[in-house]
């Protein structure tokens, strides 16, 4: 049994067989072999090399015949790579000395070369990484592997990987993958958001561990505590199965409070909305008592696609969302692409500092054609639904005004084309850049609502990359600096009579949601899965408790002190929930 501690990013417990995804997306069922099997493993590797070489020879002949010598020469070089004895020695050493499986040895060595070529800073060299990946693919196929996308007949597995992109995560087959753990990553990355949206238990930031996976082992993944147990013993399995039962009971209990209002004991009403990525999440949101959609992240329409989704496709998707919410309101956020969410088709040049670069509204305003298409689709879908449009990552009034001007143009254009004009569309902005908080009294004159995106606000306030495990501890919503920005935002919005909500992850944690209510926030938007427990927490406290928390936190100097206080207070107020979380 081997226990690892990572960062819990998506709640839930899963027990299943491991499935290792190598860096190039190939599934490997194990990374380690018994030392007694080393001889067989070496034979297996040699057989596979011979087989792969035969296949490449065939490809070479076929393509030379059909296409010409130039393409054939590529396969010839691939074959030469495959037969390179330098590589053979490296593979064999990992199998003999470190008991790596043949697949893992191949993938480890070739990934290292590919990585080195990619980082040489020349396009020619980077292309070579692609060649190496091709050779790896051929050899892994000869070893019996298959790309994850075509994997069939697997039981329910837990995916283990170095890292996963948001798009890869969204593409996981929920019926086969019941959770995932990665070596890299931190809390609040977009991969984590997608995992929560899919209700897929996940632990990230485990550090290097893939090389320690023994043959087809079972793994326990605890998405609450961040613990991962490899080759669990009977006692651990029993313990976790029991916990899963208890949790299943609690989930049932939470579903029961679905139709009760989110109201504190002394009658303060809080509106709970859901954050969604896909129209498919609406049913789950309503089931968990969401009173509307507080954040529809439209970029996921783009991320999964090979080409930019057309106006028609988008109109259909947005109408589908509106038709499913049963007359409730939906805040649609315009494209928030860039940084770690780059679509397959966007023509972004690599930036040295993507989080501070051309992303989100900046990218949209730079490529107004894309934003225009999206706004047209939103306006067209708006008829007959309560659609609100929200612009992300606004830093300056100029950006807000330009975006609003585009929207006005689009509305006029559509009216001229004979489309039925929508009723007034409410327009708002995300407050997630400290500059926007500092200028908020000017912003609130020009918007109908604001929504605080705590994830980015924390990142930009603390200047800490939330997915970098080395600085992830700086990234804290309860940091006194962040709390001050939140308080300012609420005060300014309330004074101006502008609706304010919080849609970042701070609202989904029961204890920080109480803090936000104490600060004066009355609309919280969170992932559907976290709504029931937020409601449960709210229904057990008085507004006075929340206000007291919100006052007290300003006495502390450091995030650590605030955190300790919040935990203690939570345990006092909600002992039952504190035990479970």
Partner 1 sequence: MGIHMRPADLLSRTAGRFECQVLIENNGQSIDCKSIMSILTLGARQGTQLNLRVTGPDAQQALDALCELFEQGFDESDSEVATEQTS
Residue 86 binds to partner 1 (criterion: CB under 8 A): yes
Closer to partner 1 by Cβ: residue 121 or 575:
121
Give the Å distances, CA to CA, from 349 to 338, 342, 353, 358: 10, 10, 11, 10
Residue 312 binds to partner 1 (criterion: CB under 8 A): no
- In the region spanning residues 420 to 439, those forming contacts with partner 1, defined by CB under 8 A, are none
Question: What's the min distance (Å) between Cβ of 73 and partner 1?
Answer: 5
Whether residue 546 lies in the annotated active site: no
Question: What's the min distance (Å) between Cβ of 117 and partner 1?
Answer: 8
Taking a C-beta distance cutoff of 8 angstroms, is the pair 480, 558 a contact? yes
In 482-533, which ranges are E strands? 499-502, 523-526
Tokens matching residue 115: 């990585």
Closer to partner 1 by Cβ: residue 118 or 539:
118
Question: What's the min distance (Å) between Cβ of 330 and partner 1?
Answer: 52
Stretch that binds partner 1, among 77-85, 138-146, 240-248, 293-301 (CB under 8 A): 77-85
Residue 50 binds to partner 1 (criterion: CB under 8 A): no
Question: What's the min distance (Å) between Cβ of 80 and partner 1?
Answer: 5
Whole-number Å distance between alpha carbons of 349 and 268: 49
In 343-431, which ranges are E strands? 386-391, 426-431
Closer to partner 1 by Cβ: residue 109 or 322:
109
By CB under 8 A, name the one of 24, 37, 51, 131 that touches partner 1. 131
b/e per residue, 58-70, with b = 16+ CB within 10 A? ebbeebbeeeeee
Collapse the DSSP code of 561 into the 3-class scheme (helix H, G, I; strand E, B; otherwise coil) and give the result.
helix
Closer to partner 1 by Cβ: residue 80 or 307:
80
Residue 76 binds to partner 1 (criterion: CB under 8 A): yes
Write down the catalytic residue from 59, 78, 190, 478: 190
- In the region spanning residues 11 to 40, those forming contacts with partner 1, defined by CB under 8 A, are none
- The count of chain residues that interact with partner 1, using the rule CB under 8 A, is 19
Closest CA to 358 of 378, 388, 337: 337
Collapse the DSSP code of 5 into the 3-class scheme (helix H, G, I; strand E, B; otherwise coil) and give the result.
strand
Identify the DSSP state of 36.
Answer: G
As to burial, measured by CB atoms within 10 angstroms (0-12 exposed, 13-18 middle, 19+ buried), residue 426 is: middle
Put residue 62 in one of left, alpha, beta given phi > 0 → left and psi -120 to 50 → alpha. Answer: alpha
Whether residue 190 lies in the annotated active site: yes
Closer to partner 1 by Cβ: residue 80 or 548:
80
Write down the catalytic residue from 59, 78, 478, 503: 503
As to burial, measured by CB atoms within 10 angstroms (0-12 exposed, 13-18 middle, 19+ buried), residue 233 is: exposed
Residue 159 binds to partner 1 (criterion: CB under 8 A): no
Stretch that binds partner 1, among 85-93, 301-309, 352-360, 418-426 (CB under 8 A): 85-93
DSSP string across 251-297:
HHHHHHTTTS--B-TT--B-EEEEEESSGGGHHHHHHTT--SEEEEE
Question: What's the min distance (Å) between Cβ of 88 and partner 1?
Answer: 10
Give the number of other CB atoms < 10 A from CB of residue 581.
Answer: 16
By CB under 8 A, name the one of 35, 65, 85, 150 that touches partner 1. 85
Question: What's the min distance (Å) between Cβ of 46 and partner 1?
Answer: 18
Whole-number Å distance between alpha carbons of 288 and 305: 29
Closer to partner 1 by Cβ: residue 90 or 168:
90
Stretch that binds partner 1, among 75-83, 300-308, 340-348, 546-554 (CB under 8 A): 75-83
Identify the DSSP state of 419.
Answer: P
Residue 581 binds to partner 1 (criterion: CB under 8 A): no
Whole-number Å distance between alpha carbons of 441 and 460: 20
Question: What's the min distance (Å) between Cβ of 123 and partner 1?
Answer: 10
By CB under 8 A, name the one of 42, 71, 77, 571 that touches partner 1. 77
Whole-number Å distance between alpha carbons of 470 and 278: 32
Whole-number Å distance between alpha carbons of 534 and 342: 32
Per-residue contact flags (x/-) with partner 1 for residues 97 to 126, judged by CB under 8 A: ----------------x--xx--x-x-xx-
By CB under 8 A, name the one of 28, 87, 178, 526 that touches partner 1. 87
Stretch that binds partner 1, among 72-80, 93-101, 408-416, 417-425 (CB under 8 A): 72-80
Closer to partner 1 by Cβ: residue 74 or 471:
74
Question: What's the min distance (Å) between Cβ of 67 and partner 1?
Answer: 15
Whole-number Å distance between alpha carbons of 193 and 456: 13
Q: Tell me how long the chain is.
A: 581
By CB under 8 A, name the one of 81, 94, 332, 437 that touches partner 1. 81
Closer to partner 1 by Cβ: residue 113 or 300:
113
Stretch that binds partner 1, among 21-29, 74-82, 388-396, 564-572 (CB under 8 A): 74-82
Question: What's the min distance (Å) between Cβ of 17 and partner 1?
Answer: 34
Q: At what angle do helices 234-256 and 531-539 cross, to 10 degrees?
A: 70
Task: Quote the Cα angle for 138-141-147, to 5°.
Answer: 105
Question: What's the min distance (Å) between Cβ of 122 and partner 1?
Answer: 5
Q: Judging by DSSP bridges, how do beta strands 271-276 and 523-526 pair with one another?
A: parallel
Residue 74 binds to partner 1 (criterion: CB under 8 A): yes
Taking a C-beta distance cutoff of 8 angstroms, is the pair 195, 202 a contact? yes
Question: What's the min distance (Å) between Cβ of 113 and partner 1?
Answer: 7
Whole-number Å distance between alpha carbons of 48 and 98: 20
By CB under 8 A, name the one of 58, 80, 307, 423 that touches partner 1. 80
Residues contributing to the site for partner 1 (CB under 8 A): 73-74, 76-77, 80-81, 84-87, 113, 116-117, 120, 122, 124-125, 128, 131
**What residues act catalytically?**
190, 503
């Amino acid at each position: 049994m081997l226990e690892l501690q990572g960062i819990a990013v998506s709640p839930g417990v899963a027990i299943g067989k491991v499935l290792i995804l190598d860096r190039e997306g190939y599934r490997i069922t194990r990374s380690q072999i018994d030392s007694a099997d080393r001889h067989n493993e070496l034979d297996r590797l040699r057989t596979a090399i011979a087989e792969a070489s035969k296949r490449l020879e065939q490809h070479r002949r076929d393509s030379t015949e059909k296409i010409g010598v130039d393409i054939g020469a590529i396969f010839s070089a691939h074959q030469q790579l495959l037969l390179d004895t330098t590589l053979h020695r490296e593979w064999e050493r990992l199998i003999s000395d470190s008991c790596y499986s043949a697949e893992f040895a191949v993938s480890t060595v070739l990934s290292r070369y590919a990585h080195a070529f990619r980082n040489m800073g020349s396009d020619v060299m980077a292309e070579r990484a692609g060649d190496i990946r091709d050779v790896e693919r051929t050899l892994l196929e000869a070893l019996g592997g298959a790309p994850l996308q075509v994997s069939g007949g697997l039981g329910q597995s837990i995916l283990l990987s170095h890292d996963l992109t948001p798009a890869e995560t969204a593409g996981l087959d929920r019926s086969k993958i019941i959770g995932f753990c990665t070596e890299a990553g931190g809390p609040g990355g977009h991969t984590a958001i997608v995992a929560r949206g899919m209700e897929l238990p996940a632990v990230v930031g485990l550090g290097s561990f893939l090389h320690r996976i023994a043959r087809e082992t079972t793994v326990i993944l605890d998405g609450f505590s961040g613990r991962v147990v490899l080759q669990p013993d009977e006692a651990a399995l029993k313990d976790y199965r029991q916990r899963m039962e208890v949790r299943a009971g609690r989930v049932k209990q939470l579903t029961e409070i679905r139709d009760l209002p989110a109201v504190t004991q002394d009658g303060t009403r809080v509106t709970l909305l859901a954050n969604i990525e896909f129209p498919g999440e609406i049913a789950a949101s309503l089931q968990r008592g969401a009173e509307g959609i507080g954040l529809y992240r439209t970029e996921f329409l783009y991320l999964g696609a090979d080409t930019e989704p057309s106006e028609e496709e988008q109109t259909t998707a947005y109408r589908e969302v509106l038709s499913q919410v049963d007359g409730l309101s939906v805040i649609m956020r315009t494209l928030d692409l860039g940084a770690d969410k780059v679509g397959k088709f966007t023509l972004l040049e690599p930036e040295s500092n993507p989080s501070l670069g051309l992303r989100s509204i900046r990218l949209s305003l730079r490529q107004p054609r894309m934003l225009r298409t999206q706004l047209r689709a939103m306006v067209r879908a708006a008829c007959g639904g309560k659609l609100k449009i929200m612009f992300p990552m606004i830093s300056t009034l100029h950006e807000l005004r330009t975006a609003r001007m585009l929207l006005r143009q689009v509305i006029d254009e559509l009216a001229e084309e004979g489309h039925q004009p929508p009723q007034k569309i409410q327009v708002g902005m995300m407050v997630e850049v400290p500059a926007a908080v500092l200028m908020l009294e000017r912003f609130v004159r020009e918007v109908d609502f604001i929504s605080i995106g705590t994830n980015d606000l924390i990142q930009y306030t603390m200047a800490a990359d939330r997915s970098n495990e080395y600085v992830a501890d700086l990234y804290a919503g309860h940091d006194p600096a962040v709390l001050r920005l939140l308080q300012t935002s609420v005060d300014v919005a309330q004074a101006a009579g502008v609706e304010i909500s919080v849609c970042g992850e701070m609202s989904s944690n029961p204890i920080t949601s109480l803090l936000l209510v104490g600060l004066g926030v009355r609309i919280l938007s969170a992932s559907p899965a976290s709504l029931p427990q937020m409601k449960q927490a709210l229904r057990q406290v008085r507004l006075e408790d929340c206000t007291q928390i919100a006052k007290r936190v300003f006495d502390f100097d450091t995030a650590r002190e605030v955190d300790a206080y919040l935990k203690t207070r939570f345990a006092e107020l909600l002992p039952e929930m504190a035990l479970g979380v």
